Structure 1
Amino acid sequence: MSNMSGETATLHVDGIPPNTLSQVQTHLQPFHLSLEKLGDISCRLNKSLILGLGKHSHHRAAVKMLPTFVRATPDGTEKGDFLALDLGGTNFRVLHVRVCEDEQQVLKMDSQICSIPQEMMLGPGEQSILIRWTKGFNCSGVEGEDVVKLLKDAVHRRGDYDIGSVAMVNDTVGTMMSCGYRDQSCEIGMIIGTGTNACYMEEMKNVKRVEGEDGRMCINTEWGGFGDDHSLRDILTEFDLTVDNMSINPGVHIFEKMISGMYLGEIVRLVLVRLTEDKVLFQGQMSSALKTPGSFQTKFISEIEEEDAGLENAQNILTQLELKWDPVDVRVVRLVCDTVSSRSARLCGAALATIANRMRTSRGLDHLKTTVGVDGTVYRKHPNFSDELQATVRLLAPLCSLSFLVSEDGSGKGAAMVTAVAQRLALQSRLLDESEGEDDDEEEEEK
């Protein structure tokens, strides 16, 4: 991995002649972000977070900062059996989840997976308030509606389950909550996979959109939209602009398009195409495969950057793409992959540092110690991503100590944990009310 000086990241790379390296770096230079620039980006994100939390400004904020109404993380005493429904891009899962207080475990007892027919993904949505469909869904009658009520109504129409309380959570909140049962200091959830997002426990006094000043609430940042207000235009490369223009949603989710798994491979492909056109790679010989959008998969980046087998993997991948390569080509491709993935990790690290710094200052702490529940294929599979991200956080949030806990099935178990925590809080509130009622009765008797 390269440094954060903001200058040419590597003045010397084994196996790449200086003249070739100079030509490559001409195109890669815009991807190198200095520590100062990352700090500046962090400040911009914090301003976006404040806008999103504002009572009168949230509607025009690029970072939506959605209140989840999750008011607490697990304390380890939760227990019970829960039904969790997980709606993904291609499958719908129904899970029976058991939360065991004695063993401090969240167990998936059994599950059933159903594929989602295309006609259902595009049909009427009466089968949840939804802002925007993603992942190929476009069901009518759902956007702008209360999805929890729609789900309750649908279950009631079937008549085969009597569901007490229903919680609707996204995978980021689910990740935080599932990890929170294993580690009660977990107050941040982060996803870096096909897409990217984060949530965290914000002070209620800062959540101007919701009544109340006491306690905390989990905020789903939707940080993938950072930059949709053009606040990141100075760091967008020509390749980022092409990816955005070619996407199904131009101008939307700019931050996500710079760093997530859906787009990283395509950014690399576009750089390789440009280097081939400039006759820096493959003797200027382009293959039809390399010309095809989406042909360079994001998983190729992880495989090419493996420490031991990376160069051999690169050779196999380039052969698969019908390219005639030599040893220098292979090393240049690896350098391009390293550069693009490094920027992704650093931008994620800068965003996470923003949240950590915000939590520390909002709570008036000299030092914050917390845990981040994390999931996503980019974080899990890339050999260097997590190390680079964590190094960036340490540099940009030096007064925060963050531990990282990889989630296990955050989507299903996390939804169960949200309901379990809500059930615990409701029981505690009821017991408190009963206790206060008894105290009032005693006072009346004394009078």
Structure 2
Amino acid sequence: MLSLEVLQQVSARLERDLRRGLGRHSHHRAAVQMLPTFVTATPDGTEKGDFLALDLGGTNFRVLRVRVLEEEQRMVKMDSQICAIPQDMMEGPGEKLFDHIAACLGEFLKSQNLQGKILPLGFTFSFPCHQKEIDKVSHTHSNDPVSVFCLTFCLCVCGEQSILIRWTKGFQCSGVEGHDVVQLLREAIQRQGDYDVGSIAMVNDTVGTMMSCGYRDQSCEIGMIIGTGTNACYMEEMKNVKRVDCTQGRMCINTEWGGFGDNGSLADIQTEFDVQVDKTSINPGVHTFEKMISGMYLGEIVRLILVKMTKDGLLFKGQASEALLSPGGFETKYISHIEEELSGLENGNKILSNLGLAWEPVDVRVVRMVCDTVSSRSARLCAAALATLVNRMRVARGLERLKTTVGVDGSVYRKHPNFSAELQATVRQLAPKCDVSYLLSEDGSGKGAAMVTAVALRLARESRLLDDSDGEDSDDEEQ
């Protein structure tokens, strides 16, 4: 249970790590990686076009067709298809995973009668990636906002050199870390052989969420995911992004805040249960913050607490079941079910019975208290991180008061009955000079990838028109 003072300390530590991640010489050793996305603008409502979108970030993979209609000021998801990713594929050769993605895309195109069309593709890949061409291109386009817009188009839409830094969220495919994910996708599509796609925009899910919500609310400059994993992006002042040679405008930064604490900065608030979760994970010592607050780990934290309380004779008359003693036996969704205001205790009765536990009414109430404590800590820690971003944006822009919107997605935020309210209340306490609104994403990961592509095309179109107005009239403006 973390006091407001402790949360303020956590926020101050994260602020230091944000600055370190943005630094030219310090970002290589920063726990919070602060990856430049080269997305330099959010939607203005004039975007239009027909796009494909792929969304890979968990055990399911989605293919969508997205049509952006300028005249109706809205996006329409024409259709989508979901493909499961088996566990052995999540841990097997990377080539097999990308062949599966390409096959799903091919089936979708066939079902939509799109095999003969070549559409731009937005690829939401919800894992930390590095843009290898940053230094090379940024030196070429220093300080020129039009060139920065062109840079957005070149990097985001062409998707060149998106290097996977490391897998997270249970993926361990070989032959992908350190490689260009866009190239691996293109090669798989070529092996498929019966269709092709146009330009590919590589998009992190937080950026997709921000861009999708930004089309509905143009004050949206933050994207946040609290689901299987957690991450956030925000629009940073270019003058503060020391690793890129441009000082004008803003750029979306993918914080990768799940790595907060990997340098030991959260050791004083980690519990024995957090330490155990980390030790038994597939990536010990990595993504410390994520393991304290995201859906992949919350159920396991609760399970470990219940096991200890049972062994200490405080629950179930000291008798644990085989299911309770099994890693992963207490699923994160149980936390939401047990904390439901009206049906929580009844849900708890059923869940504990299904786990083979001989419970009494007091046991159900204690389990509910444990769930509430763990989910409350998650919400308050996430709020401390979000407050750090909004406070930073306000100070960097020299504002007395900041008004902004956060686009949010993720099963924990959406489905837990109390999470969103506690997060929002804590942000108000930690960022009193910021008026923060929250907008739930509608298929943000998929539609957002299409929106990044659409915005990049709009900026390229605007820069071309600007070039034409400075030079000779062009007869092929619409080409």
Residue 360 in structure 1 maps to residue 329 in structure 2: no
Q: Report the Cα distance in structure 1 between the residues aligned to 2:192 and 2:304, rounded to whole angstroms.
A: 50
Q: Residue 46 of structure 2 aligns with which residue?
A: 77
Which of 78, 96, 106 is the equivalent residue of 1:109? 78
Q: Report the Cα distance in structure 2 between the residues aligned to 1:329 and 1:88, rounded to whole angstroms.
A: 36
Q: Report the Cα distance in structure 2 between the residues aligned to 1:289 and 1:92, rounded to whole angstroms.
A: 29
Residue 207 in structure 1 maps to residue 241 in structure 2: yes
Normalised by the length of structure 1, the TM-score is 0.87
Map 1:189-228; keep pairs closer than 5 Å: 189-228=223-262
Provide Cα deviations, 1:70-116, integer angstroms capped at 9, x if missing partner: 11110000001011122243343322110011222111112334444
Q: Residue 23 of structure 1 aligns with which residue?
A: none
Quick one: structure 1 residues 301 and 233, their matched pair in 2 at CA, closer, same or farther if it must change by over 3 Å? same
Q: Report the Cα distance in structure 1 between the residues aligned to 2:419 and 2:170, rounded to whole angstroms.
A: 28
The residue type equivalent to 2:311 in the other structure is: E
Normalised by the length of structure 2, the TM-score is 0.82
CA contact (8 A) 2:405 2:438 kept: yes
Residue 279 in structure 1 maps to residue 313 in structure 2: yes
Map 1:19-418; keep pairs closer than 5 Å: 32-116=1-85, 118=88, 122-125=92-95, 129-152=163-186, 154-155=188-189, 163-418=197-452
Quick one: structure 1 residues 161 and 226, their matched pair in 2 at CA, closer, same or farther if it must change by over 3 Å? same
Identical aligned pairs, as a percentage?
76
Q: Report the Cα distance in structure 1 between the residues aligned to 2:267 and 2:211, rounded to whole angstroms.
A: 34
The residue type equivalent to 2:233 in the other structure is: C
The residue type equivalent to 2:447 in the other structure is: K
Q: Report the Cα distance in structure 1 between the residues aligned to 2:457 and 2:193, rounded to whole angstroms.
A: 23
Q: Report the Cα distance in structure 2 between the residues aligned to 1:343 and 1:74, rounded to whole angstroms.
A: 34
Q: Report the Cα distance in structure 1 between the residues aligned to 2:343 and 2:226, rounded to whole angstroms.
A: 24
Quick one: structure 1 residues 266 and 138, their matched pair in 2 at CA, closer, same or farther if it must change by over 3 Å? closer
SS at match of 1:213: coil
CA contact (8 A) 2:225 2:410 kept: yes
SS at match of 2:471: helix
SS at match of 1:200: strand
Provide Cα deviations, 1:98-139, integer angstroms capped at 9, x if missing partner: 001122211111233444464586225475511112344444
Tell me by how many angstroms 1:321 deviates: 1.4
Quick one: structure 1 residues 97 and 233, their matched pair in 2 at CA, closer, same or farther if it must change by over 3 Å? same
Tell me by how many angstroms 1:316 deviates: 1.3
Q: Report the Cα distance in structure 2 between the residues aligned to 1:133 and 1:241, rounded to whole angstroms.
A: 20
Quick one: structure 1 residues 307 and 113, their matched pair in 2 at CA, closer, same or farther if it must change by over 3 Å? closer
The residue type equivalent to 1:105 in the other structure is: R
The residue type equivalent to 1:99 in the other structure is: V
Provide Cα deviations, 1:403-440, integer angstroms capped at 9, x if missing partner: 0000111111010000000000000000011111149x
Per mean C-alpha deviation after superposition, the further-off stretch among 114-123 and 369-378 is 114-123
Q: Residue 12 of structure 1 aligns with which residue?
A: none
Q: Report the Cα distance in structure 2 between the residues aligned to 1:257 and 1:434, rounded to whole angstroms.
A: 52
Looking at CA atoms only, which structure, 1 or 2, has the larger radius of gyration? 1
Quick one: structure 1 residues 184 and 234, their matched pair in 2 at CA, closer, same or farther if it must change by over 3 Å? same
Quick one: structure 1 residues 119 and 401, their matched pair in 2 at CA, closer, same or farther if it must change by over 3 Å? closer
Tell me by how many angstroms 1:165 deviates: 2.9
Tell me by how many angstroms 1:175 deviates: 0.7
The residue type equivalent to 1:86 in the other structure is: D
CA contact (8 A) 2:170 2:282 kept: no
SS at match of 1:249: coil
Provide Cα deviations, 1:318-367, integer angstroms capped at 9, x if missing partner: 11111122221111111111111110000000000000000111111111
Gaps of 5+ in 1: 1-31, 440-447
Q: Report the Cα distance in structure 2 between the residues aligned to 1:234 and 1:123, rounded to whole angstroms.
A: 38
SS at match of 1:202: strand
Gaps of 5+ in 2: 100-161, 474-479
Tell me by how many angstroms 1:162 deviates: 5.7
SS at match of 2:377: helix
Q: Report the Cα distance in structure 1 between the residues aligned to 2:455 and 2:344, rounded to whole angstroms.
A: 45
Quick one: structure 1 residues 231 and 325, their matched pair in 2 at CA, closer, same or farther if it must change by over 3 Å? same
Q: Report the Cα distance in structure 2 between the residues aligned to 1:80 and 1:254, rounded to whole angstroms.
A: 40
Provide Cα deviations, 1:257-293, integer angstroms capped at 9, x if missing partner: 1111111111111111111111111121222221111
Per mean C-alpha deviation after superposition, the further-off stretch among 211-220 and 323-332 is 323-332
Tell me by how many angstroms 1:402 deviates: 0.6
Tell me by how many angstroms 1:153 deviates: 5.1
